[in-house]
Amino acid sequence: MADYKLMKGNEAMAEAAIQAGCDAYFGYPITPQSEVLEYLAREMPKYNRIVMQAESEVASINMVYGAAGAGFRAMTSSSSPGISLMQEGISYMAGAELPCLLVNVNRAGPGLGTIQPGQGDYFQSVKGGGHGDYKLIVLAPASVQEMADFVFLGFDLADKYRNPVLILSDGAIGQMMEKVQFHPYTRPQVDKSSWATTGKPKTRERNYITSLFIQPERMEEHNLKLEEKFKRIRENEVRSEEYNTADADYLFVAYGLSARICQKAMDIVREKGIKIGLFRPITLFPYPYKRLEELAAQVKMMLTVELNSGQMVEDVRLGVNGKVPVEFYGRMGGMMPTPEDIVHHLETLIQYHHAN
Amino acid sequence: MPTEEHVLPETALDVVTPACHEEEYEVVYHKPATMVDVHMHYCPGCAHSLVHKLIMEVVEDMDIQEKTIGIAPVGCSVFAYDYMDIDMQEAAHGRACAVATGIKRLMPDKYVFTYQGDGDLAAIGIAETLHAVNRGENFLIVFMNNAVYGMTSGQMAPTTLPGMHTTTSPDGRDVSYYGAPIKVAELLANLPGAVYVTRQAVNSANGVRRTKKALMNAFKYQQQYKGTCLVEIIGNCPSNWKMTPAEASRFIDEEMVKTFPLGDIKLPQADNLKTV
């Protein structure tokens, strides 16, 4: 059994990157995730790994592109405005099928916004962000432990599918301290020799990394290949967690920090004798539509709680497909709902639906 | 015996044995084996095809095909990987030096070069370029300066000459409105991270020879010296200059060199040597 450590979410993630064999980290300071670059600037040289503070997020993501294209495990992290700057590079990496790990420690926006936590980047993360038809595999941690665990999982999924993976965290999980355990990790063997640009020996054709397909026939062929990959990801990589769903009449649906708050709200509501469960999507792409559809046959109503104006709720409604009411409650601007706020909102909704 | 499927039609021409046998001639010139044997998409008289060949000649002469990685960002030369028989990465517009940083930092023993146009390097990618050179990234930047955006068909570039007509400066570049052309080589040579900076042109046989020498030097310096090498090459773009290839070559001698004088701007110093 590995020892427990008390760490900030951002530091746990940085330590996990080292243990996951991350060869290179490129980043740019931005609150509330600067601890990642600071931690790695201190620790990576001890392992002869590359860590670099780039001149911008635009440069960071393109350094990741170069390193990933040469077959190395590379990552970057940032917070909302910085992730917006990276979108061009992320689209290129998805188009060129380059594996890498991205982390967004989401703060509230739009624009410069505030440095307080938010979940306003849900659409950007799962519906595109950059230009063109592509998907990121999006993992949503709800604890410091998951901040660490998803780094290992994220790198492995990126290599497995040759696709960028995004950990969508937020300012609270990045900054808060919790106990965390680092488990022994065996890196899956992945052969990148058929595409990585390591220098062309006489024995093989040249490798080149590109997202450019100027002939429409070839572009569509490439799009279809990507779609086939996203289909495989949808079939195989859906992850979610459930609490008290077995007997639930009502359901909270929330990810990340919101799910943590809903857990407490659920306990309060259960004390009052209302059977409520919590459904927590862990992968935001691929989204657990199917399980939500199943739960819609069981519960009377779902309440989606997010730190935004209502983004993931659209995916919940897609899964539920009109079978039961899907309501929304959220705070914005870095404001946190208390569990009591959520309980109050739920009770009002139950009364409303009962009366109607 | 020819198989049934392989009977030549009667109209097929007889194979004529050349009167001269190969052994009577000494091969004095050949296309480098490091080039892919395909037709290029470049316009007649364009400098890109020539400079591609020069770089690949250097790679062949130095026998470093296995150790060379090129980066071609957006621009006419974004298809360089179709022509250069080496491992390559296409890059987003302006980001070649960041991509090259990612590659070279992880594989310091390889030869890495970027191949960038003037819009790419001097406009949208000036930040990535300047910071890469300032860090003294140990790769070669081949900077193709033809004073226009070629791929998008002839818009004004940061290097467009004063008064030069382009599709977005139809009355000629007005320096009071758009500023003067950026002298990239002189600008970057000021940074301590730059170890070798030179400007050449490929509009004459002499110029081509000197350019190849500069490229050869720059590849060798990657192993010998700490820092970045920049070879700026004044190239002709007859299509977008609305000139014949011959006129375009004369335009370089008569106009381009007034703003962009040719020659070495910075040479490696002894204290730039890598410690063994």
Q: Give residue-wise pLDDT tens across range A280-297.
A: 999 999 999 999 999 999
Q: Which residues of chain A lie closer than 8 angstroms to B60, CB-CB?
A: none
Q: Is residue A137 part of a domain?
A: yes
Per the prediction, chain B carries an average pLDDT of 93
What tens digit of pLDDT does each residue of B3-46 get?
555 555 555 556 655 565 656 788 888 899 999 999 999 999 99
Q: Is residue A54 part of a domain?
A: yes
- What are the residues facing B232 on neighbouring strands? B143, B199
Q: Across the interface, which of A50, A60, A200 has its CB nearest the CB of B66? A: A200
Same domain, A35 and A176: yes
* Strand B68-73 versus strand B155-156 pairing type: unpaired
Same domain, A196 and A110: yes
Same domain, A221 and A248: no
Per the prediction, chain A carries an average pLDDT of 97
Same domain, A219 and A284: no
> Quick check: helix, strand or coil at residue A103?
strand
Same domain, A246 and A229: no
Q: Is residue A334 part of a domain?
A: yes
Q: ipTM value of the model? A: 0.96
Residue B275 has pLDDT above 90, yes or no: no
Q: Is residue A255 part of a domain?
A: yes
Same domain, A222 and A269: no
> Quick check: helix, strand or coil at residue A114?
coil
> Quick check: helix, strand or coil at residue B45?
coil
Same domain, A196 and A269: no
Q: How confident is the model at residue A13 (pLDDT cuts 50, 70, 90)?
A: very high
Same domain, A248 and A139: no
Residue B1 has pLDDT above 50, yes or no: no
* Residue A18: alpha-carbon gap to chain centroid: 19
Residue A204 has pLDDT above 60, yes or no: yes
Which of A60, A200, A203, A212 should one mutate to test binding to chain B, selecting the residue with the greatest count of B CBs within 10 A?
Answer: A200
A93-99 mean pLDDT? 98
Alpha-carbon distance of A129 to A325, in angstroms, equals 29
B 102-121 residues inside an 8 A Cβ radius of A = 102-103, 105-107, 110
- Residue B241 distance to chain A (closest CA, Å): 25
A67 touches chain B (CB under 8 A): yes
A324-347 mean pLDDT? 97
Which of A28, A98, A203, A210 should one mutate to test binding to chain B, selecting the residue with the greatest count of B CBs within 10 A?
Answer: A210
Same domain, A17 and A140: yes
A210 touches chain B (CB under 8 A): yes
Whether A198 sits inside 8 A of B128 (CB atoms) is: no
What tens digit of pLDDT does each residue of B33-84 get?
999 999 999 999 999 999 999 999 999 999 999 999 999 999 999 999 999 9
Phi first, then psi: give them for residue A186, nearest 5 degrees: -110, 120
Query: Containing domain of residue A99, as a range?
Result: 4-200+213-236
CB B73 within 8 A of CB B125: yes
The CATH class for the domain spanning B38-272 reads: alpha beta
CATH (domain of A299)? 3.40.50.920
Q: Is residue A205 part of a domain?
A: no
Q: What is the pLDDT of residue B18?
A: 58
User: Among A221, A236, A251, which residue terminates a domain?
Assistant: A236
Same domain, A271 and A129: no
Q: How confident is the model at residue A355 (pLDDT cuts 50, 70, 90)?
A: confident
What tens digit of pLDDT does each residue of A119-177 get?
999 999 999 899 999 999 999 999 999 999 999 999 999 999 999 999 999 999 999 99
Residue A98 has pLDDT above 90, yes or no: yes
B274 touches chain A (CB under 8 A): no
Same domain, A295 and A219: no
CATH (domain of A86)? 3.40.50.970
Q: Domain total for chain A? A: 2
Whether A55 sits inside 8 A of B85 (CB atoms) is: no
Contacts of A38 (CB under 8 A, 6+ apart): none
A338-351 mean pLDDT? 97
Same domain, A263 and A230: no
Q: What is the pLDDT of residue B25?
A: 82
B41 touches chain A (CB under 8 A): no
Q: Is residue A207 part of a domain?
A: no
For B124, the token pair is 């949208």
